[in-house]
Amino acid sequence: MEEQNVFYGKTYEEALNNARMELALPLEELEVTVLEEGKKKLFGSTKWKIRAVEKKKDGDRAVQFIDGLLKILGIEGGGEVVSEEDGIKIDIKTPASARVIGKRGDVLDAIQCIAGAVANIGREKYIKVVVDCENYRSQREETLVNLAHKVEQKAIETGRKVNLEPMNPYERRIIHSALVNSEHVKTASEGREPGRYVVVIPDTAKPGDRGIRYGERDRRGRDGRGNGRGDKREHGRGRGERRGAGKPSGEKRAKKEIIFGTYLGNSNNKE
């Protein structure tokens, strides 16, 4: 039985040329494996024997990796190259999209990172690889753009720096891009990976402001002091007043409560 994609020649060059002619492909698109080297013998010689196949494209190698990974993980489905115009875009089709995407896309990001490394094997110039599933990337981008504008309003209203949750570099770039033309705030990234996060800074922010986390209430009053719930003395409870103040004079007062502990002056300050 004749072996497929196997070619012979008196020299390596001749065998390679035979492969090129047969497969109708340029040499740079051939992946060649030498099976036997040609040798001269006392009586005659043996020919070179090579196997030549078309090189897998960068995207195809990445898809092959993804398919193998999904099989190892026991997930039905596979990848498909959907675009190679501006980098390589691969879409994973699977009924178990939640497992492939993971929490906030962490599993999908990990697959994308390794698939990108596989696609760039042997390349001199890096090519960007984006792996998507169930249109998650565009939906997440829309969510982040909306979030960026909400945080912008929060920063303007409070006059304070607003810190977002840690994000990967791709998601941080979306936030920066969404607010790059804002006339009232600027953005920056702080912290270290993997806990690096975006901060939205209004023009009215005071020097040294550590900021507030988005979603948390600003504990300062509108004048920048207090805890945002008003001064207790305005509600009839001064700093030195007991909880029992205002009760009938005939009512027995509870025994004075003694609390043991250590006073830490800045223990409640947020980092």
Say what the pLDDT of residue 30 is. 87
Say what the pLDDT of residue 46 is. 87
Could you report the per-residue pLDDT of 86-137, keeping only the tens digit for each?
Answer: 899 999 999 999 999 998 899 999 999 999 999 998 888 999 999 999 999 9
Give the side-chain half-sphere CA count within 13 A for 9.
Answer: 17
Do the domains 58-134 and 139-213 sit in the same CATH topology, yes or no?
A: no
Say what the pLDDT of residue 269 is. 36
The Cα–Cα gap between 112 and 89 comes to 10
Going by the DSSP 8-state scheme, the letter that residue 118 receives in this structure is H
Start-to-end CA span in the chain (Å): 74
CA trace torsion 103, 105, 109, 111 (10° rounding):
70
Say what the pLDDT of residue 217 is. 61
Say whether domain 139-213 belongs to CATH 3.40.50.150: no
Domain range annotation of the chain: 6-54, 58-134, 139-213
Arch. (CATH architecture) of 58-134: 2-Layer Sandwich (3.30)
User: pTM for the whole thing?
Assistant: 0.63
Say what the pLDDT of residue 2 is. 58
Given a cut of 50, the residues of the chain with pLDDT beneath it are 221-271
